[in-house]
Structure formats: C-alpha cells, structure tokens
Amino acid sequence: MSKEALKIVTIGGGSSYTPELIEGYIKRKDQLPIKEIVLVDIEAGKEKLEIVGEMAKRMVKAAGLDWKVELTLDRKAALQGADFVTTQFRVGLLDARVKDERIPLSHGVLGQETNGAGGMFKAFRTIPVILDIIKDMKEICPDAWLVNFTNPAGMVTEAAIKHGGWKKTVGLCNVPIGHCSTASEKLGIPEEELFFKFAGINHFHWHRVWDKTGKERTAELIDLIYGPNQSEEDSHLKNIHNAPFHYEQIKDLGLLPCGYHRYYYIEDEMLNHSIEEFEKGETRAQVVKETEARLFELYKDPQLDHKPDELSQRGGTHYSDAACEIIASIQNDKRTDMVVSTENNGTITDLPYDSIVEVSGAVTAHGVEPYNWGAFPPAARGIIQNMKAMEETVIRAAIDGDYGAALQAFTINPLVPGGTIAKTLLDEMLYAHKDYLPQFAEKIKEIEKNQPETVNYVDELMKSN
C-alpha cells in the first residue's frame, strides 16, 4: 500500500452501518489518505443507498475533508482503481433474515443467523455473490484488499479465499471487541495492558487473557464473569440473549467462551427465549428491521452529519470500526493486534490447514500474521471440528447447489435437532428464499410442484408476520 490517494469501495453501501464506517474513516483521517469513497448497492437498495449516502457526504463535509463520496449501482465501474473493497451487503435484505429466523422457530428450532439454520441459508445466498464480486475484482482491481464483514463472516471468508482464490481477504467480526472490553472492566485493567489471544472460527471462538506481569487471568475472569456472583448485565452483545452459562462447565473448559457459545452450551435456554420472542413477533430480525427503519428516518434528516447514538443498538456495533482499523493497519503496516478471519495454515492444529479461522494476529501491510495457537483441550476441540466440517459442507452446498450436501449440512449442524426436521426446514427455506438461490433452482421447482404442503406452510407463515 503506502498509496497516496486511496479509493475505498463498499459493497452494500446502503447499509445502516455505513455512518459508522464513515465515522471510522474520519477518526483515522491522519492515517488514511482517502481520495474517494464509493458506496455500491443494487437496484432494490437504491433508496437506502441514497439516504445513507447523502448522510455520508454530510459527515465527510462536516469533518472538513475533501474526500469524494460516490453512490452507484454499477459495481464494475466502482471497482475501477479500488485499493480496498469492503463488503457489508445482505442478499435479500432484512426480509430474508426474518424468514431465516421465523421458519425454524415456527417449528421450535433456532434460526440463528450466524451458524444455525438461518446462517446456513445466509451462506447459500451470499457465497455465490461474493464469488461473483471476486470474479470482477480479479479482472478490474487485482491488487485490492477485500475486507469482508458480511455474515456468516467465517464461511463467506472461507469461500472467498479457498474457492475464490482471493488471498487478500480479511474477515471481520465485532464479537471479540466486546469480550476485550468486558475483561478490561472486570479486571479493572486498561485493555492495552492486557494480552488477549483468541482462537476458533467466526462466532465460535474462545480466548485467554494475560496481564502485563505475565500472569494468566483467564480462570479469574471465568470466575468474575460466569461464577456464582456474576451480574446479569455482562454481555456487550446487543444481539443475543444474555442467558448465564453453567459455571462448572466453563470452569472445566478453562477458556473464555464467546457470546455465541450460548447457542451450543445452553441451547435449551436460548431456544426457549427465541421461541418467546417468536411468539411475540419479536424475533431479532424483526426487532432489527424496526431499528433500521428508525435509523433511516434519522438519516433522512439533512441536518444530521454524525453517527447517531441509536446505531449502537443495532447489534453489530464496532464492526465497521474494526474494518477501518484493519484498513489503517494494512495501509500503514501498523501491526495492530486484532482478531480476524484468516487462513489457518496450522495456527490451530486441530483444524484443516486450509481452513479459515478466527484468531488473534498482527495486521501488517502484507496481511495478517496470526499468533500460533496450537491445540485445543478435547472439550473445545471436538465441537469446533464439527462446526468447521459443517461450514465446509455448507460452502460445498452453496457453490454446487447440491440438495444432498445442503441436507447433510442441516443434519450435522448441532442447532438442528434431527434429520427429519432438517429436511422440512431445508425444503421450506429453499422455497422461501427462491429468488436468491439460483443454484438450487431445479430443486426449488420440484418442491413447488410436488410439495404443496411446504409451499402453503411458508406462504401462511409469512403472511402471519
């Protein structure tokens, strides 16, 4: 890098997160010699792109910067000369997420947009698109970095690197950021005086913490956060229910879990809570949809020229800030310690060499240099190996449009409680998302033709929303 005049392109630029991204760039204006920011979206997102794009222009102007902010629906044109491409698009918008959550929950199964039934379908919809973007990048901007924060970030990043062959991809998540804050608060030690080491896969990682005297504080943090005297207000994650882990189990593990481990370690609690939400019409997707609507109302205000506080309720907060830090760190070879999705290459010896993992590393000008992690204790090892195999199967299904592979993925996914409900969900969700799954077109046609009960069930459910 070390370029004089940066061009940063954001695909899914019409997202409600964009102001956070812009704020992140502004905060780092001394590190980022930006010349041009291009926000790209598709026809269906045009209105939102315009609202949030104008807001972005106001923010840049208010900061006294001469950066050019462009809005476009022409992806190929946008990629011309790009130095960084960030991806935050959502195929099918929030309506797709509503389906991802409501269909499983209507059967008493977790939707879970990260690695559950919902997450698998988000992968089915997203992976063909990311591979398509990479096809364009190969042709148009072959030296650009791809900073992905479209979920499921782990699988999307694995598809981009392993299948798309785009080595210069970094996947991002905001979850580790919250865990660092929590540890810092609990110990009463500034974050920069702690050494954090995360390892796992996206939305499924653990971490250890040391202080600057060299003492490991992991066990102490387990006590403070998950022990008998834990307070109820611990989670920094707005988007998942804050049910308490079982202390004895976490203590036995000896590693700090991530918030999403609740879906696996206390699946029953999380399911009950999600069903409650579903019954009240308040699934996370539905809540987020309303938050978003409110945010866009705010963004329309021609006086607003800074990120509104309300955005932090959105759930993915810090996401965009992390993206900006990665860009700044690559641009300036800052070697910032961050937690990112990157090639394993033996960092975690329990997972395949060519897997994408989410680990701590230094972000340099030539990419991420992960700190070696090694092996997990058995209790963490098996469960993550299963998740990774599930991810690989999802990616295979997403690329090949293979129904058997998709059913396989649903069957081995630990959040799907059995092969028969797996098949029911899979069929219903294929039908529900038919507009965004060209690779499964033939199977979907078959379902439409031969399974009227599937079609009716989904149609009725979606009406009832």
Strands 84-87 and 194-201: unpaired
d(CA 186, CA 201): 25
- Does 246 interact with a copy of itself (rule: CB under 8 A)? yes
Selected binder of a copy of itself within 271, 288, 340, 458 (CB under 8 A):
271
Residue selected from 42, 140, 383, 455 as contacting a copy of itself according to rule CB under 8 A: 383
Number of residues near a copy of itself (by CB under 8 A): 80
Exactly one of 61, 68, 300, 366 binds a copy of itself (CB under 8 A); that residue is 366
The encoded tokens of residue 170 equal 């970094």
Cβ–Cβ under 8 Å, residues 305 and 61: yes
Nearest to 85 by CA among 23, 44, 132, 50: 132
By beta-carbon proximity to a copy of itself, the closer residue of 138 and 212 is 212
Question: In degrees rounded to 5, what are phi and psi of residue 77?
Answer: -60, -40
Which of 389, 399, 461, 462 lies at the binding interface for a copy of itself (CB under 8 A)?
389
> 303-322: which residues touch a copy of itself (CB under 8 A)?
none
163 near a copy of itself (CB under 8 A): no
Q: 387-424 burial, b if ≥16 CB within 10 A, otherwise e?
A: bbbbbbbbbbbbbebbbebbbbbbbbbebbeeeebbbb
Q: Hey, what amino acid is at 161? A: I
Contact yes or no for 1/29 (Cβ under 8 A): no
CB atoms within 10 A of CB 23: 19
CB distance 145 to 170 below 8 Å:
yes
Q: Which of 46, 371, 461, 462 binds a copy of itself (CB under 8 A)?
A: 371
Contacts (Cβ under 8 Å, ≥6 apart) of 45 = 12, 14, 93
The answer to whether 235 contacts a copy of itself (rule: CB under 8 A) is no
**Taking the CA atoms of the chain, what radius of gyration do you get in angstroms?**
21
**If DSSP codes are grouped into helix, strand and coil, which group holds residue 257?**
coil
Stretch that binds a copy of itself, among 23-31, 62-70, 178-186, 420-428 (CB under 8 A): 420-428
- Quick check: 454 binds a copy of itself (CB under 8 A)? no
Contact region with a copy of itself (CB under 8 A), list: 75-83, 128-136, 180-188, 373-381: 373-381
In the residue annotation, 353 being an active-site residue is answered as no
- Of 17, 25, 226, 260, the catalytic one is 260
Q: Is 216 near a copy of itself (CB under 8 A)?
A: yes
Task: Answer yes or no whether residue 157 interacts with a copy of itself by CB under 8 A.
Answer: no
**Candidate segments 43-51, 63-71, 176-184, 380-388, binder of a copy of itself by CB under 8 A:** 380-388
Is 80 among the residues that bind a copy of itself (CB under 8 A)?
A: no
Smaller CB distance to a copy of itself: residue 215 or 463?
Answer: 215
Asked if 70 touches a copy of itself (CB under 8 A), the answer is no
Window contacting a copy of itself (CB under 8 A); options: 80-88, 89-97, 207-215, 446-454: 207-215
Catalytic residues: 260
